[in-house]
Chain A
Amino acid sequence: MLNYTLRRLGIAIPTLFIIVTAAFFLMRLAPGGPFDAEADLEPEVLENIRASYDLDKPLLTQYRLFLQRAVRGDFGPSLVYKDYSVTELIAIGLPVSIQLGLLAKLLALVLGCTGGIVAALRQNTTVDHAVMAMAMTGIALPAFVTAPILALVFGLYLKLLPVAGWDDGAWRNLVLPVVALALPQVAVIARLMRGGMLEVLRASFVRTARARGLGEARIVTRHVLPTALIPLVGYLGPALAGIMTGSLVIELIFNLPGVGRYFVQGALNRDYPLVMGIVIVYATFIILFNLLSDLAYAGLDPRVRKAYR
C-alpha cells in the first residue's frame, strides 16, 4: 500500500509538469495580453513594463524562468493585483475557498448519505419518493439560483443571517454560502448512495447475511455499506478537487475573498502568473484527491487492496 502510494506520487510529478507546460503555452496562444486595457500608455512605457515582467523575452526563455521560480514556490507578481505576489493572493484566497468547500462537502455528505441510505432501505415508499424528489429539485436548481433565494429569504426578509461578506469566517457568514454550495451536491450524493445501496441490497450475500439473523443495523453497516460506498468514492475524488472552482459562483454572489474570483479576474485579464499559480494548485488538488479516492477504494475493497500491493 505504501509502495503503491509512493509509486503514484512518483507519477504525479511528471503529470503536474505536463499540465503546467500545456497551461503555460495554451494561455499564450490566446489572443490579447495583460496590459491591453491600458491602451493609452506610451509605447515605451508599455515596453518598459513588459520588460520588467520578462514579457519581452522569447517564449521559451520565459518558460524556463517560470519553471525555475515555480519549483521554489515563487510564481512571480500578479499583473492585475499589482501590489501582491501570486503566492500571496493564493495564500489569502485558498483558505477561504477550502473552508467553504470542505464545510459544504461535509454537509452534503452527511445529508446526502443519510438520505440515500434511508431512501434505499425504504425503497418505493413515501420516504423514498420524498428524498428522491428533493434530490431531483436539488440537481435541477443550480447554486446561482438557490443562493440569491437563500440570501433573500434568510438575509433580507427574516434578517437572520448576513446577506454577504466574510467577516473572518464567522459562522453566521458561512451558513448561507455553505448551504447554497452543498444543496446540489446533497442531491448528487443521495442519488449515488441510494443507487449503490440498492444494487448491493439485491446481492445474494446480503440475503445470506439476513439468513444468519444478523439484524438490519449490522447488515447495513458491515455487509452493505463498504461495497455500496464505492460509486460515491469515485465521485468524491474529483469533486473534492473541485472545491476551489466549485465555489466560484458562490464566492461572487456572497462577495467572499476566495480564490475563485482571482481565477476569473486572472483569466479575463491575461494575468499569466496568477493563472499559472492557480492552475498548479488546482492540478495538485486533482492529483492528490484522485490518489486519495483510489486509496479509499483499496480501503473498501480487499481485491483492489491486493492488486495495489
Chain B
Amino acid sequence: MPSTPVTADRAPAGTTVLECRDLTVRFRTDRGEVAAVSDLSFDLRAGECLGVVGESGSGKSQTFLAAFGLLAGNGRASGSIRYRGEELLGAPPETLDRLRGDRLAMVFQDALSGLTPTMRIGDQLAEVLVRHRGLPRREAQDRAVQALAAVRVPDPGVRARSYPFELSGGQRQRVMIALAMLCGPEVLVADEPTTALDVTVQAQVLRLLRGLRDETGSALVLITHDLAVVAGLCDHVLVMYGGRAVETGPVREVLRAPRHPYTRALLRSMPSLTADPDVDLAVIPGQPPDLENLPPGCAFAPRCGRAHDACTADRPALRATGPGRASACHLDDAGGHHGV
C-alpha cells in the first residue's frame, strides 16, 4: 500500500506544516446561516505547540474539523488550509484518507465515545497500521500492543483484546492518543484532551502529550479552555472569539502582556494565572456573540469595557503589534492606547 515514508520525510523543525488562510466555515440551518469561523489565518510550524483558546462556540473545533474534511453535512468551508503546500479544503477523499491518520491526526473533543464499540482495541489500532503502513496483520497487532504500552495503558496485551466498554475513561483517552500517534503524524490536533477526565488523569495525559511532542517532533495543536494548560505546554497561542482570531503570539508574551481586551478578560477569569489572588475571578460578563447575526463591528463590543464608537462601526482587523504578535482591536489603531 502506498504511504508516506515514516520519519525520513518529516518537514525540518521550524518550517510551516499547516498553513491556514482566510478560513471561513458556515453552517446552513433552518433559522439561517451560522458563521462558525470567519477569515481565520494562522501558521503551524514543525515541532511547535500551538494553543487555541476561546470560550465555548468560538469556532476552535470547527476550524480543525474543516481541515480534516469532517464538517457536519450542513457545513461548508472556504479559504485554504494547506498541509506542506497540499490543499486540504475540497481535496478528494483519497487525498484526505492518505493524510488523515498518517500525517495528520486528531484526538476529538468527545474522545471517550470515539472508539468503535463493536471492535477490539487492538484491532482498531492494527487496522490503522495495515492501512497506512501496509503491515501484515500479525505484525500490526504486535505494534498495537507496543503502542498501548507507550501511552502507559496497564496490561497492554490484555487491553488489546478488550472492547472499549471494558476500559475506563482515562484508558480510552490514552487509546485515542495512541491511535493518533500510531503513524508518527506531523500534525497532531488534540481537542480538549483532558476535559472529560478527572484531575489526576488530566495531568498524566498532558504529560503524555508533552512527552510525545518532545520525542517525535510533531507539531501539536492543543484546543482548550484552560490557559494554565496553554502556559504549561504551548509555544504559541491563538485566541479566538466569535469565529475570528482576536490575538496571536508567543505564549509567554501574550500571557504576560495581553493586548486584546478579550484576552485580558480571559486571563482575569483564570485564577491560577493571575499574580494577585484578589482580582476578580468572575467569568466574563455578557453573552457570547450570536453567530447567526454577527454585528458589523467588533463582535466583543457588547462585553468590552473599552468599546468606543469605532468598535460598533468597523470590524477591527488582525494587525501586527510586535514581533510574532498580532491583535484585532481598535485600541491598537493609534497605537499606545493600551495602559495596563
Find the A residue at minimum CB distance from B93.
A216
Docked-complex contact A204 and B113, CB < 8 angstroms: yes
Given contacts A213-B96, A214-B101, 5 further A-B pairs with CB under 8 A are A210-B100, A211-B100, A213-B101, A226-B118, A302-B165
Q: How far is the CB of B106 from chain A (nearest CB, A)?
A: 5
Docked-complex contact B114 and A208, CB < 8 angstroms: yes
Docked-complex contact A205 and B105, CB < 8 angstroms: no
Q: How far is the CB of A124 from chain B (nearest CB, A)?
A: 8
Binds A, one of B41-49, B127-135, B293-301: B127-135
Find the A residue at minimum CB distance from B114.
A208
Known contacts A205-B116, A223-B119, A303-B165; A211/B128 CB under 8 A: no
Collect the chain B residues with CB atoms within 8 Å of residue A204's CB.
Answer: 108, 110, 113-114
CB-contact partner of B127 in A205, A218, A226, under 8 A: A218
Collect the chain A residues with CB atoms within 8 Å of residue B99's CB.
Answer: 213
Docked-complex contact A301 and B127, CB < 8 angstroms: no
Collect the chain A residues with CB atoms within 8 Å of residue B132's CB.
Answer: 213
Docked-complex contact B102 and A213, CB < 8 angstroms: yes
B117 at interface, CB cutoff 8 A: yes
Q: How far is the CB of A163 from chain B (nearest CB, A)?
A: 47
Docked-complex contact B115 and A205, CB < 8 angstroms: yes
B151 at interface, CB cutoff 8 A: no
- Interface pairs (23), CB distance under 8 Å: A123-B73, A203-B113, A205-B116, A206-B116, A207-B108, A208-B115, A208-B179, A210-B70, A211-B108, A212-B128, A212-B179, A213-B100, A213-B102, A213-B128, A213-B131, A214-B97, A214-B127, A223-B118, A223-B119, A227-B117, A227-B118, A301-B117, A302-B165
A209 at interface, CB cutoff 8 A: yes
Collect the chain A residues with CB atoms within 8 Å of residue B176's CB.
Answer: 208
For chain B, residues 55 to 96, give those with C-beta under 8 angstroms from any C-beta of chain A: 68, 70, 73, 93, 96
Docked-complex contact A301 and B118, CB < 8 angstroms: yes
Collect the chain A residues with CB atoms within 8 Å of residue B97's CB.
Answer: 213-215
CA distance A212 to B102 in the complex (A): 7
CA distance A203 to B118 in the complex (A): 13
Collect the chain B residues with CB atoms within 8 Å of residue A208's CB.
Answer: 106, 108, 111, 114-115, 176, 179
Docked-complex contact A223 and B116, CB < 8 angstroms: yes
Q: How far is the CB of B271 from chain A (nearest CB, A)?
A: 32
Collect the chain A residues with CB atoms within 8 Å of residue B70's CB.
Answer: 207, 210-211
Docked-complex contact A303 and B163, CB < 8 angstroms: yes
CB-contact partner of A302 in B101, B110, B113, B117, under 8 A: B117
B98 at interface, CB cutoff 8 A: yes
Find the A residue at minimum CB distance from B163.
A302
For chain A, residues 251 to 309, give those with C-beta under 8 angstroms from any C-beta of chain B: 300-303, 306
For chain A, residues 106 to 134, give those with C-beta under 8 angstroms from any C-beta of chain B: 123
Find the A residue at minimum CB distance from B100.
A213
Q: Range of interface residues on chain B?
A: 20 to 34
Docked-complex contact B117 and A212, CB < 8 angstroms: no
For chain B, residues 111 to 169, give those with C-beta under 8 angstroms from any C-beta of chain A: 111, 113-119, 127-128, 131-132, 163, 165-166
Which B residues have a C-beta under 8 Å from some C-beta of A? 68, 70, 73, 93, 96-102, 105-106, 108, 110-111, 113-119, 127-128, 131-132, 163, 165-166, 176, 179
For chain A, residues 221 to 235, give those with C-beta under 8 angstroms from any C-beta of chain B: 222-223, 226-227
Collect the chain B residues with CB atoms within 8 Å of residue A300's CB.
Answer: 118
Find the B residue at minimum CB distance from A201.
B73
Q: How far is the CB of A220 from chain B (nearest CB, A)?
A: 12
Docked-complex contact B100 and A205, CB < 8 angstroms: no
Docked-complex contact A211 and B106, CB < 8 angstroms: yes
CA distance A210 to B93 in the complex (A): 10
Docked-complex contact A302 and B118, CB < 8 angstroms: yes
CA distance A214 to B114 in the complex (A): 14
Collect the chain B residues with CB atoms within 8 Å of residue A302's CB.
Answer: 117-118, 163, 165
Find the B residue at minimum CB distance from A222.
B119
Find the A residue at minimum CB distance from B64.
A211
Q: How far is the CB of A75 from chain B (nearest CB, A)?
A: 44
Collect the chain A residues with CB atoms within 8 Å of residue B128's CB.
Answer: 212-214
CA distance A211 to B148 in the complex (A): 19
Collect the chain A residues with CB atoms within 8 Å of residue B73's CB.
Answer: 123
Q: How far is the CB of A196 from chain B (nearest CB, A)?
A: 13
Collect the chain A residues with CB atoms within 8 Å of residue B98's CB.
Answer: 213
CA distance A13 to B111 in the complex (A): 46
Docked-complex contact A209 and B116, CB < 8 angstroms: yes
Docked-complex contact A205 and B131, CB < 8 angstroms: no
Collect the chain A residues with CB atoms within 8 Å of residue B108's CB.
Answer: 204, 207-208, 211
Q: How far is the CB of A264 from chain B (nearest CB, A)?
A: 43
A178-216: CB near B (< 8 Å → 1, else 0) gives 000000000000000000000000011111111111111
Q: How far is the CB of B71 from chain A (nearest CB, A)?
A: 10
Collect the chain A residues with CB atoms within 8 Å of residue B113's CB.
Answer: 203-205
CA distance A223 to B73 in the complex (A): 19
Find the B residue at minimum CB distance from A209.
B116
Collect the chain B residues with CB atoms within 8 Å of residue A212's CB.
Answer: 100-101, 105, 128, 131, 179
Collect the chain A residues with CB atoms within 8 Å of residue B106's CB.
Answer: 208, 211
Collect the chain A residues with CB atoms within 8 Å of residue B96's CB.
Answer: 213
Q: How far is the CB of A139 from chain B (nearest CB, A)?
A: 27
CA distance A68 to B101 in the complex (A): 67
Collect the chain B residues with CB atoms within 8 Å of residue A203's CB.
Answer: 113
Q: How far is the CB of A13 from chain B (nearest CB, A)?
A: 33
Docked-complex contact B110 and A211, CB < 8 angstroms: no
CA distance A302 to B124 in the complex (A): 15
Docked-complex contact A211 and B105, CB < 8 angstroms: yes
Q: How far is the CB of B314 from chain A (nearest CB, A)?
A: 38
CA distance A86 to B100 in the complex (A): 65
Docked-complex contact A215 and B114, CB < 8 angstroms: no
Shortest Cβ-Cβ A-B pairs, 7 listed: A212-B101, A213-B100, A213-B101, A208-B114, A226-B118, A213-B97, A302-B163
